[in-house]
């Protein structure tokens, strides 16, 4: 008859079997994350210069086109202000690219 008597359930709360298991799982997860994760590498100086050149190639003509479009709407000179300001943006972009290419990478 001793086997039919109800047993006391293990204490899963604070300080019980479950809490030590949770602590071990958290420690194992954090150790695995620390082992497998790597800090991102810093970009090389050439990569930084390439990004600056790409930004100039996009922003120069686009900025000139936007300014030319706004001026064309305001003053009413159909495509000429848009085309002229976009050409000016291209010239400024190439001038800045030449400046960037003459710099030494950090």
Q: How far apart are CA 100 and CA 52, in angstroms?
A: 8
- Residue position matching structure tokens 């800090």: 39
Output the average pLDDT for the chain. 82
Helix (H, G, I), strand (E, B) or coil at 11: coil
CB 18 within 8 Å of CB 12: yes
**56: closest CA among 84, 87, 85, 98?**
98
Provide mean pLDDT across the span 69-96.
Answer: 91
Provide mean pLDDT across the span 57-74.
Answer: 93
Provide mean pLDDT across the span 83-89.
Answer: 93
Provide mean pLDDT across the span 89-101.
Answer: 93
**What is this structure's pTM?**
0.57
The separation between CA 92 and the C-alpha centre of its own chain, rounded to angstroms, equals: 28
At 32 the pLDDT is 86
- Report the percent of the chain where pLDDT is more than 90: 36
- pLDDT tens-digit profile of 12-64? 555 555 578 888 889 999 888 888 877 777 777 788 888 999 999 999 999 99
């Amino acid at each position: 008859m001793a086997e039919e008597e109800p047993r006391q359930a293990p204490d899963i709360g604070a300080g019980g079997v479950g809490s030590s298991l949770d602590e071990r799982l958290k420690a194992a997860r954090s150790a695995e994350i620390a082992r497998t994760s790597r800090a991102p590498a810093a970009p090389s100086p050439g990569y930084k210069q390439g990004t600056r050149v790409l930004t100039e190639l996009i922003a120069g003509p686009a900025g000139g086109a936007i300014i030319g479009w706004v001026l064309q709407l305001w003053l009413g000179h159909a495509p000429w202000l848009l085309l002229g300001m976009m050409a000016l943006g291209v010239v400024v972009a190439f001038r800045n690219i030449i400046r960037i290419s003459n710099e030494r990478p950090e």
